Amino acid sequence: MEKAENMPPEAIWFLFNSDRLLLRTPANGPDALCRSAGPPFPPAGKVHILGRHEGILCKACLAHLPGAEQGFVQVGLRAAYDILGEPLYRLAGKGREMIHWEEHTRHCPACGTGTEPDTHLSQRCPGCGRLLFPHITPAILALVRRRDRILLVRARTFTGPHYGLVAGFLEPGESLEECARREVLEETGLAVGNLTYFGSQPWPYPSGLMVGFVTDNADGEILLQEEELIHAAFFPRLGLPALPHPLSLARRMIDAWILDMDRHREPPLPRLPLLQK
């Protein structure tokens, strides 16, 4: 019998069927994921190493699923956020990005030869020697302030009732700051200034990086880019429409603005005692 010390260590498995994640039901957090030394179902491709969660190695792969697996449910990555929580959702997103990259680098884009694994973050073409790395697409988010209001937009691509921030992809030869100014101007006709970096977020749908900026606009009429947006307006703190999901950088930027507005609101005037006759 093989000694225990020679057995592979236990791992947390992020198993995907296309873009859907296989989770145990009705469990939450780490209990919703499979934990075993080997993959619970036969892998349908390369096994990707994602890092560690609380000291346990995390792996991801496509899985050959025989059918309706009892005790499991297949969940979209966005919906998995509410089940897994932030740290595990981030690892799940990395796993989906790695699988997407593997699926789209099976042949060399230069010579068409089938690629081979090189490292955990690269593929090599045996024909021309080209190295292929995961491709990340940067995009900006712009939170535009006008005094005590912020600009929120409803894009034609939104599937829910929410509003969000002006967003767009980086173009060749353009800085992130230039991209933010251009996207606001193109989509709303508004010129902005006082551009400040807020933060960034991996966006695995399928392989993006969201970069957030906060900026100001003093005045001007909104000229809607109708092929991109359905509606855009400046909303006050107490009159905000439905907002993006908390997992998104856009929501975190809006929440930070709300918190900042609350901090700077003037305190109410003290109530004077009634005078007794």
pTM across the whole model? 0.88
Q: Is 144 helix (H, G, I), strand (E, B) or coil?
A: strand
Per residue in 140-199, pLDDT (tens digit) is: 999 999 999 999 999 999 988 999 999 999 999 999 999 999 999 999 999 999 999 999
pLDDT of res. 65: 77
| 235 part of a folded domain | yes
Q: How many domains in the chain?
A: 3
Q: Dihedral sign for Cα 202, 204, 209, 211, please.
A: negative
Considering the domain architecture, whether residues 160 and 122 belong to the same structural domain is answered as: no
Q: For residue 56, which phi and psi values (nearest 5 degrees)?
A: -100, 130
Phi, psi at residue 272, to the nearest 5°? -80, 145
Q: Based on the fold, state whether residues 229 and 115 are members of the same structural domain.
A: no
Question: Is position 60 within any domain?
Answer: yes
Residue 251 domain boundaries: 137-264
